[in-house]
Amino acid sequence: MQWHIFCRVIDNFGDIGVCWRLAVQLQKDHGQEVSLWVDDLAAFQQIEPEVLGATEVQTVQGIRVFHWTAQTSGLEAGSPADVVIEAFACELPAPLALALQERNPPPHWINLEYLSAEPWVTDFHLGQSPVGRLTKVFFFPGFTAGTGGLLAPPAGTESLVAEMATATARAEFLNSCGIHAAEGERYISLFSYETAALNGLLDALVQEQGWHLLVPQGRAMAGVNRWCGDDLPAVGTRTRGGLRLSSLPFLSQPEYDRLLAMCELNAVRGEESFIRAQMLGTPLLWHIYPQEDNAHVIKLNAWLDLLLAECPQPLAAELRSAHFCWNDMPESRPADWSYLLSELPQWRDHLRKWQTVIRRHGDLVTNLMTYCK
């Protein structure tokens, strides 16, 4: 089948991150013909270095990539595809929406929605809306039966966590980022939005020996620099007490997967990195994208309700409290970072069980393929 995917970049890397993983898996794992329209090639280029900026049409990893501008009709790739995906309600160009009505046989027109753990998602997954002679279908990713599932790791990366548990693989990866690995150290990655809770975590880490905080370029870097009292080099390392802190270059998706797989704890944000950490079964702190009227608080609580349903106490209570603190929720109490760091083995065991739970419902790409066939 031919697939056309349309993406507008809203949250820098989350939207294009999801769309690019979707496109790659359709093409590589399922042999589909895929075209991708993106309005922000600069953001795309940061997660996929093969992308050329200011290029109207290019082919990247076998996928045709179009720069989506106000002048783009969506018809540049020829006739409308078998499946047309509006990612996150981005709205198709008017000429393409009109052309879809004339295609015979009619295409699948899918609105790929944002991820939520809220119970109402199962009622709206595969909901339909008539548009002329066509029907637009709303496809909801999710954590439970009755949803579209989650984007699975790419084929061939199932053993990534075991591979990156070896000292050799970790050292090779860090060396490729310009960072020296010290013997016996333990790793935490930090890719989040700004949060006042960061100081508490760093204060706890500095009291112990052997932790190495890895910070890819992003919004969290400013908070790290303030805590250090000195800017980290663009790529390099500082030491404070028993803690090493290293700034990494912005990573491509395969490189970021390796970073997640090697770390004992991953602070992630938005949707794309949030999914990756869970599908790899690693302990994580989620910084959810803030929304007006605190709508994100409801979404965070819904996910925590599912995640912690079978988690032993008191770990479950501390993880909920830590997420409230990490997301700067009003009246949240300071997280007990020392306790959580000491309980990382139990935390990891629980995430491995959670990984099994969320994979029971199939992965997003396979579920999309099954629906469209």
Catalytic residues: 15, 271
Rounded Cα–Cα distance for residues 52 and 229 (Å): 37
DSSP three-state, residue 198: helix
Residue 262 near residue 165, CB atoms below 8 Å: yes
Which runs of E-coded beta strand occur in the chain?
2-7, 33-38, 57-60, 63-67, 83-87, 108-112, 127-131, 134-139, 186-190, 211-216, 236-240, 243-248, 265-269, 284-287
Length of the chain: 373
Can you say how many angstroms the Cα of residue 127 is from the centroid of all Cα atoms in its chain?
25
Contact 113, 138 (CB under 8 A): yes
What does the alpha-carbon distance between residue 41 and residue 44 come to, in Å, rounded to a whole number?
5
- Quote the CA–CA distance of 44 and 181 in Å, as a whole number: 29
Residues 358, 355: Cα–Cα separation, whole Å = 5
Check: CB of residue 48 under 8 Å from CB of residue 65. Answer: no
Q: What angle do CA 273, 278, 31 make, to 5 degrees?
A: 75
What span, in angstroms and rounded, lies between the C-alpha atoms of 38 and 90?
11
> Rounded to whole angstroms, what are the CA distances from 24 to 40, 41, 58, 88, 249?
18, 17, 15, 18, 23
| Cα gap 278→269, rounded to integer Å | 12
Close Cβ partners of 202 (under 8 Å, ≥ 6 residues apart): 213, 224, 227, 240, 243
H-helix or E-strand containing 152?
none
Q: How far is CA 69 from CA 13, 65, 91, 111, 282, in A?
A: 18, 13, 13, 20, 38
